[in-house]
Structure 1
């Protein structure tokens, strides 16, 4: 297959994949008797057509940035971490325990502590599959998938039997202290001139953006990042150069799990103000698509997270204002994942025809 130029690989391949997914989605909408144009207009107006819509789009995107970065770090070490969902749920448990531990006087004190709690619990949950891969040869994909279900069961047990307040019916923790409330965008000076209504996007958005920069520094400006990328490209060559497979596997998965766990400062601490069942809301799985579409680069992850935030919020608007079922957003997400992941090779083959070197004298 013809090697594509870097710009074509980064820009054209995701763009064509997105257009193909949009075209198939339009056919599906048309087949159920609805107008694809009206559906697109509703999604655009509801997700990015107003500051209020942007507030929700950015809220979803914040979670996807964390989980997308989690997949990215592991992927550069040739590790496919499918356990972001479980690691995010355990991160939520860590955030909840920290927030409930003390009567926090202000969010500036509670947020760093909650970040540490979420990152530690997420990293700890990723450490077990990492060790099994590094020492026992257990495939990381299989073990991380299994640990998603174990995490879900553990969270249910903790909420029902340990953390649920006496007399409360729903399986959830008590409300966090008022001092743990994270300011939303409409409460931040300057941003409140744009976001004039209550929106769920909060200061964890800036933490996510800072995490993008840190991961770029880690992967391309540090020795550990070089070792991760070298190991991911060729394990035998990395071992010959003195790079420890055990060290790289453990560090990559610990960082990956910590990033997934950090997602919980957005939805558990920032939006819900307590820990509930299924707090990750599928963001761990969406992070896989975000990383693939973002070409496992922090900038690409950010842009892909915005796209999936748009799909989430736009899909909700479809379910609210049209007769198109909200489940259609799952169809659209699935098509985006299909074309950016499973059919990525097909798009590359198509583009390769245009970038194939031509013999001299051939037009």
Structure 2
């Protein structure tokens, strides 16, 4: 168990280092100075309060998306439909934020709950198809992404209403904006959603490891046949896992609709947050602490990458670094095999030296 935990920490760290090394090689090949590039990158992440605020702001939806993917992974399912669940959560949060006149104590929680429920309902469809008809969740959930895109676009046009390709801004009573945080970070777009995201990571941990429900969900993910033999409702738990995963994804949409943008834009709604959540969950080893740290890393790379343009390095280079980090994490078994072989050889070398003495 300790060895597994060791590899769970070591492989992501090695993957980040190797991704950075590949990024440096690509910079050299492209004729750029990697030292200056990484210096500008890290300055763009940590150099100013504004950059720090933007990094934390970008991390909030990624934390939720990562938790959504990780929750499904932990229960033996692959929810690749997080992107669509983000969209419907975003849309419902904005609709509630625009349509009602309520005090903040009611309006904001209502918008957040609405976003979570929308994500849950959208995720329930592939969950039901998986549980009742054994349809593979990867196929159904990814198709639901495109349905979500076109359904939300149609609702934006004909129900909510748009002006200049976007909705009205949500009312102040439904906004996650924090004047204090914005002033603290030189008027970045940092909002209170980052605190909600951290609480969500704690909720994730509590559900999976401190409740009977979490035990059953993990048992079903580990071995469906054994769980069924033990009297656990396999089909019920599959659906429930998707529903809870969808709640996290819906909240990710709320972070964008009530926090970052305060509205929803037509035809620019495919955010990439849901797909990035897969990488965040993978790098974070489906652990809530790991997901938070991975989200901060990805957010920092994306925000810091923008500042690299100031010295002529294209921001697309950051996408290359992120891609290689994901590749190395996905190749964790191969990295682990290399480490184990090196460890065995080192141990054998010590035995030979000891025998010679």
Per the normalisation by structure 2, the TM-score is: 0.93
Aligned to 1:13: 11
Change in CA separation of 1:4 and 1:352 when aligned onto 2, cut-off 3 Å: farther
1:162 aligns with 2:159: yes
**Which residue of structure 1 lines up, in the alignment, with residue 332 of structure 2?**
344
Hey, what's the Cα distance between the residues in 1 that align with 2:257 and 2:118? 14
Greater shift in the superposed pair: 144-153 or 270-279: 270-279
User: Which residue in 1 is equivalent to 2:82?
Assistant: 84
- 2 CA distance for matches of 1:147 and 1:68? 18
Corresponding residue for residue 205 of structure 2: 216
Query: Which residue does 1:326 correspond to in 2?
Result: 315
Q: Size of the alignment, in residue pairs? A: 350
Question: Could you tell me which of 161, 176, 180 is aligned with 2:174?
Answer: 180
Contact residue 268 and residue 279 of structure 1 kept, 8 A: no
CA displacement at 1:280 relative to structure 2? 5.6
1:97-139 superposed Cα distances (whole Å, 9 cap, x missing partner): 2112212343x43221111110011011100011111111110
- Distance in 1, Cα, partners of 2:270 & 2:57: 13
- Are the aligned partners of 2:15 and 2:326 in contact in 1 as well (CA < 8 Å)? no
Using the alignment, how far apart are the partners of 2:35 and 2:272 within structure 1?
28
| Equivalent-residue separation in structure 1 for 2:295 and 2:352 (angstroms) | 43
Partner-residue secondary structure (3-state), 1:11: helix
Gap regions ≥5 residues in structure 2 = none
- Given the alignment of the two structures, is residue 313 of structure 1 paired with residue 284 of structure 2, yes or no? no
> Could you tell me how far apart the structure 2 residues matched to 1:223 and 1:4 are?
24
Equivalent residue in structure 1 for 2:223, among 234, 243, 253 = 234
Say if 2:81 and 2:142, in contact at 8 Å, map to a contact too: yes
With over 3 angstroms needed to count, the CA separation of the structure-2 counterparts of 1:177 and 1:291, relative to structure 1, is same
Cα RMSD (Å):
1.9
Deviates more, 1:151-160 or 1:292-301: 151-160
Matches within 5 A, 1:83-102: 83-102=81-100
- Which residue of 1 is the match for residue 106 of structure 2? 109
Could you report, residue by residue, the CA deviation over 1:232-279 in whole angstroms, capped at 9, with x for unpaired residues?
111111111111111110111000011001012221111211111344
Kindly state the Cα deviation for residue 340 of structure 1 after the two structures are TM-superposed: 1.1
- In structure 2, relative to structure 1, the CA distance for the partners of 1:33 and 1:226 (3 Å cut) is same
* TM-score, structure 1 normalization: 0.91
Number of the residue aligned with 1:263: 252
Q: Distance in 2 between matches of 1:246 and 1:292?
A: 25
Distance 1:230 1:121 in 2: 27
Task: Give the deviation of 1:57 after TM superposition.
Answer: 0.5
Q: Choose between structure 1 and 2: higher helix proportion.
A: 2
The 1-side partners of 2:21 and 2:107 are apart by 46
Mapped pair 1:32 → 2:30: yes
**Structure 1 portions without partners, runs of 5+:** none
Task: Give the drift of 1:159.
Answer: 2.0
Distance 2:124 2:5 in 1: 36
